[in-house]
Amino acid sequence: MKWLLFITANILALTLLFAYKSTIKKFFDKYYKIMIWLELVAAFIFGSFLVYEIRSMLRQFFIYYKDVFGGIGYSLIGVGLIFTWIQLRAAKKRAKANISYQIHKDGREIRNSIKDEIKKVIESPLSDKISPEDEKKATKGIREMLMYFSSVYHQYDFGNIDESEWKLLEEEFFKFLNNERVEKYWKDKVSGNSAWHKKLRILGDDFIKEK
């Protein structure tokens, strides 16, 4: 209703302006400065009225549709959480892939660093006589391989590699531990040493007992 009255008043003013333009022109020529100030005041009042009306309309709009906007807000939060979960899951997969790649790379490097003749010494029974130098090199190779398996088990225990991947390496661990010289090193240096992973020590001890 207010808008209708305002528009009607403006139309009426424009009609009078064109009907009495010569008389109005003389009046404006005489009092143009006063009219300019009146126009500015009118513009200010109209602007204030317009802002008030718009704010009132928006307020009524948001009050009326507050449940709708609330639902939209919760939906956006839900979408954001799902998107974050997807991103975190993808990041976790990439991290696992990188760790898996590094584990296999480290394993290859350690195995390649042990010369074939030392590998034969490691696999030989304790009854075989070996030189002190070969025994020292064999002990070093055994320690490095067991430290590698311990490092991998740490990653498995932290959840950084899957159980299926550890099971493959576990078979290799048991196969390595099945050598007499490795078993002796295990009993002397690892089994009772708290510096090594407790669960891995239990795993190795149980395997040796069941042999």
Chain segment 21-59, per-residue pLDDT in tens: 555 555 555 555 565 566 666 666 666 666 666 777 767
**SS3 call for 123:** helix
pLDDT at 68: 62
pLDDT > 90? residue 138: yes
Q: How far apart are CA 211 and CA 207, in angstroms?
A: 6
Same domain for 104 and 202, yes or no, is yes
Same domain for 99 and 50, yes or no, is no
Cβ atoms of residues 142 and 185 within 8 Å: yes
Segment 67-92 mean pLDDT:
70
Cβ atoms of residues 150 and 106 within 8 Å: no
* 163 within some domain: yes
Same domain for 29 and 101, yes or no, is no
Name the residue type at position 75. S
* 129 within some domain: yes
CB within 8 A of 197, min separation 6: which ones? 150, 153, 154, 157
Weakest mean pLDDT among 81-85, 99-103, 207-211 = 81-85
Name the residue type at position 152. V
Q: Confidence class of residue 188 from pLDDT cuts 50, 70 and 90?
A: very high
pLDDT at 87: 74
Weakest mean pLDDT among 102-116, 132-146, 196-210 = 102-116
Cβ atoms of residues 100 and 158 within 8 Å: no
Same domain for 110 and 31, yes or no, is no
* 150 within some domain: yes
Same domain for 192 and 118, yes or no, is yes
Global pTM reads 0.58
- Give the sign of the dihedral formed by CA 13, CA 14, CA 20, CA 22: positive
* 84 within some domain: no
* 101 within some domain: yes
- Give the sign of the dihedral formed by CA 124, CA 125, CA 128, CA 129: positive
Q: Confidence class of residue 70 from pLDDT cuts 50, 70 and 90?
A: low
Same domain for 194 and 107, yes or no, is yes
Q: How far apart are CA 60 and CA 207, in angstroms?
A: 75
For residue 184, which of 127, 111, 119 has the smallest C-alpha distance?
127
HSE at residue 48, side-chain half, CA atoms within 13 A, is 6
Q: How far apart are the first and last CA of the chain?
A: 97
Same domain for 51 and 149, yes or no, is no
Per the structure, the complete domain to which residue 135 belongs is given by: 94-210
* 89 within some domain: no
Same domain for 113 and 200, yes or no, is yes
CB within 8 A of 130, min separation 6: which ones? 121, 124, 138
The domain tally of the chain equals 2
* 48 within some domain: yes
Same domain for 123 and 197, yes or no, is yes
What secondary structure, in 3-state letters, does 144-185 show? HHHHHHHHHHHHHHCCCCCHHHHHHHHHHHHHHHCCHHHHHH
* 79 within some domain: no
pLDDT at 201: 94
